[in-house]
Amino acid sequence: MTEAQAGMASGEVPVGAIIIKDNVIIGRGHNTKEMDHDPTAHAEIVAIRNACATIGDWRLDGAILVSTLEPCPMCAGAILHARIAVVGYGAKDFKWGAAETKLNLFEDVRFNHITNAYYSPSLECETMLTGFFKQLRQPHG
C-alpha cells in the first residue's frame, strides 16, 4: 500500500508491488508510466527489475510477489519469465486481469512455468483505485 500511495502522490495510477524472498523484501515498485514515459513501467515490472538488481540474477525462484492489483498479461508474463513462485493481489482488474478475470496465464500448463496466484480481497486496495479514477473523471472548475 505504501508503494501504491507513492504512485498516487506522483499522479500515477495507484498500484504498488513488493517482492519477498527468504522473508526479506528484495524489490519494490509502483506505477511510473506517466513520469517515465514508459508503458512497461507497471508496479510489478518495476519491482521485478528492482529485485533482480538487488540479487544480481534474473531468476527469482521461490520468490513471492504481492501487488495491490491483479497483474495484466504483460506483468503476468514477466512474473512467469522471472520464475516467481507465488503472486498475491488485493483487487481484481476488470479490464486487464490475467490471473483470473480476463484470462489465466499463471496456470497455463502450455508455458514452462506455473505461478500460484491468490486473490486476497482488500477494501483498501479497491477504494484507492476507485477513488483515483473517480477524481480523474471530475470536471475541472
User: Which of the ranges 22-30, 47-55, 85-93, 116-124 carries the binding residues for a copy of itself, by CB under 8 A?
Assistant: 47-55
In the complex, the smallest distance separating the C-beta of residue 101 from a copy of itself, rounded to whole angstroms, is 10
User: Which of the ranges 6-14, 19-27, 66-74, 118-126 carries the binding residues for a copy of itself, by CB under 8 A?
Assistant: 66-74
- Residue 117: closest CA among 82, 75, 65: 65
Where do contacts with a copy of itself occur on this chain (CB under 8 A)?
Answer: 33-34, 36-40, 45, 48-49, 52-53, 56-60, 72-78, 80-83, 95-96, 98, 102-103, 105, 108, 110-112
